[in-house]
Structure 1
Amino acid sequence: MRGLTGKRIVICGGATGIGAATAVRLAEEGCRVLIGDVNVAGAEETAGRIIAAGGTALAAGFDLSDEASVRTLMDRAVSDLGGVNGLFNVGADLSPGTIGHDGDLSAMDAAVWRRTLEVNLIGYAHSCRAVIPLLLERGGGAIVNTSSNAAFVGEPLRPAYAASKAGVNALTRHVASRWGKKGIRCNGVSPGMVLSETGMTHMSEEFLAAGLVGTRSTRLGRPSDLAAVVAFLLSDDAEWINGQTWSIDGGGSLRD
């Protein structure tokens, strides 16, 4: 892709899954990546794979829900990479204690809502806020936020998660509208059902089969599918795309 070689990209949530696959893809495209995650061992493992393949990667522990931690991660990018050209927000609290208790409103747990919004939405606002001045110093740059089809499909459960992702879409449009004329692009990706790198998943075979029936594709998603689109949106080839959130879901959703 055009214009990725040498770019410095911060990945907020790159230890596993889509974040890790994107870190690997960006390094293959010639980017230098800083992989931040609360899962420090996972971030270090991903960075190690990139380095072993001849790429440039650093790992750092950080907490997306902690504004000071987010700022420290950006400071690390400046000190160790020499600046920032792009940001990929992909972290989310998908722990059983949080999303596993995200029931319908009749069973609402306000603590689950607060934790979900603190990580999935306010955390993204913190990272965007921290990176924007760094991008402006370099004449602009690109941000990609991870949303979800849960933001618009109307699920019977997970309303806190859906609300957080709807908020991410609004945040994406805000950043594009406020700083687009200053050279900052902000877009989003909305994944469908994505298997892990190994194909292993905690979801039942019945759930996976139903997910496949609901797509217009021959298979379920892979982290590499999202990584390819994120790399494109961070590249110069996407320089006239701003404020958009794309569904990357094998045709599971059809919308304008």
Structure 2
Amino acid sequence: MRGLHGKRIVVCGGATGIGAATAERLAEEGCRVLIGDVNAAGARTTAERIADAGGAAAAAAFDLADEDSVKALFERAVTEFGGVDGLFNVGADLSLDTIGRDANLSQMDVEVWRRTLEVNLIGYAHTCRAAIPLLLANGGGAIVNTSSGAAFVGEPLRPAYAASKAGVNALTRHIASRWGKEGIRCNGVSPGMVLSETGQAQMSEEFKAAGLAGTRSTRLGRPADLASAVAFLLSDDAEWVNGQTWSIDGGASLHD
């Protein structure tokens, strides 16, 4: 893709799944990638896999829910690469203790809501805030945030998760509106059912069959499907795309 070679990209949540696949795709395109994740061992494994393939990557332990940790991650990017040209936010708290207890509103657990918003939304705000001055110093750059179809489909469960992702969409539009004229593009991707190495093990065959039946595609998603879309949005080929959230879901959702 045009204009990715040599770019310095921070992937927030790159230890496994979509984040790892995207980090690898960006490295294949010639980017230098800093992979941050609360799963530090997984981040190192991804970085080592990239290095073994001839790419440039570094790994760092960081926590989206910790503002100081976010600051340290971007300081590491400046130390390691001399600056930042792009950011991909993909981390979220998908633990059973959080999303597994995200029941309907009548059974609301306030601590689940606090934790979900702290990681999935406020964490993204922290990373974007840290990245924006570094992007402006280069005359601009690109941010891609990970959303979810839960933001607009109206599920009977997971209201905290859905609210956090609707907030990510609003954050994406805000950044594009406020800094677009200064050369910063901010877009989002909304994954459908993606068979990652961790998620696939938790899905029954019946669940996967139901997911496939709800798409307009011949298969369920793969992390590489999102990786290619994110790489495009971070590249110069997408220089006239700003403030959008794209559903990458095999046609499961059809909306304007």
Given the two structures, how large is their TM-score scaled by the length of structure 2? 0.99
SS of structure 2 residue aligned to 1:36: strand
Find the counterpart in structure 2 of residue 91 from structure 1.
91
Deviations along 1:112-166, one digit per CA (max 9) or x if unpaired, are: 0000000000000000000000000000000000000000000000000000000
Find the counterpart in structure 2 of residue 44 from structure 1.
44
Find the counterpart in structure 2 of residue 221 from structure 1.
221
Q: Quick check: 1:113 aligned with 2:117?
A: no
Question: What is the identity, as a one-letter code, of the residue corresponding to 1:247?
Answer: S
1:198 CA drift (Å): 8.1
Runs of 5+ consecutive residues of structure 1 not aligned to the other structure:
none
Distance 1:68 1:121 in 2: 16
Find the counterpart in structure 2 of residue 175 from structure 1.
175
Deviations along 1:182-230, one digit per CA (max 9) or x if unpaired, are: 0000000000000014883301111111110000000000000000000
Task: Decide whether the 8 Å contact of 1:147 with 1:165 is kept in 2.
Answer: yes
Question: What is the identity, as a one-letter code, of the residue corresponding to 2:103?
Answer: G
The aligned runs of 1:77-156 (5 Å cut-off) are: 77-156=77-156
Task: Decide whether the 8 Å contact of 2:92 with 2:120 is kept in 1.
Answer: yes
Find the counterpart in structure 2 of residue 71 from structure 1.
71
SS of structure 2 residue aligned to 1:73: helix
Find the counterpart in structure 1 of residue 191 from structure 2.
191
Distance 1:197 1:56 in 2: 23
Task: Decide whether the 8 Å contact of 2:17 with 2:198 is kept in 1.
Answer: no
Task: Decide whether the 8 Å contact of 2:148 with 2:165 is kept in 1.
Answer: yes
Distance 1:132 1:213 in 2: 41
Distance 2:47 2:254 in 1: 36
Deviations along 1:170-189, one digit per CA (max 9) or x if unpaired, are: 00000000000000000000
**Structure 1 stretch 205-214 or stretch 27-36: which is displaced more?**
205-214
Task: Decide whether the 8 Å contact of 1:147 with 1:190 is kept in 2.
Answer: yes
SS of structure 2 residue aligned to 1:201: helix
1:245 CA drift (Å): 0.1
Task: Decide whether the 8 Å contact of 1:197 with 1:223 is kept in 2.
Answer: no
Find the counterpart in structure 2 of residue 238 from structure 1.
238
Aligned structure 1 segments of 4 or more residues deviating by more than 2 angstroms: 197-201
1:237 CA drift (Å): 0.1
Find the counterpart in structure 1 of residue 253 from structure 2.
253
Find the counterpart in structure 1 of residue 61 from structure 2.
61
Runs of 5+ consecutive residues of structure 2 not aligned to the other structure:
none
Indicate the RMSD between aligned Cα atoms, in angstroms: 0.9
SS of structure 2 residue aligned to 1:200: helix
Deviations along 1:36-86, one digit per CA (max 9) or x if unpaired, are: 000000000000000000000000000001111101000000011110000
**Structure 1 stretch 202-211 or stretch 216-225: which is displaced more?**
202-211
Task: Decide whether the 8 Å contact of 1:197 with 1:222 is kept in 2.
Answer: no
Find the counterpart in structure 1 of residue 208 from structure 2.
208
Deviations along 1:97-118, one digit per CA (max 9) or x if unpaired, are: 0000000011110000000000
Distance 1:31 1:222 in 2: 22
SS of structure 1 residue aligned to 2:188: strand
Q: Quick check: 1:35 aligned with 2:31?
A: no
Task: Decide whether the 8 Å contact of 1:195 with 1:222 is kept in 2.
Answer: yes
Distance 2:10 2:87 in 1: 5
Task: Decide whether the 8 Å contact of 1:6 with 1:31 is kept in 2.
Answer: yes
Distance 2:235 2:200 in 1: 31
Distance 1:245 1:182 in 2: 20
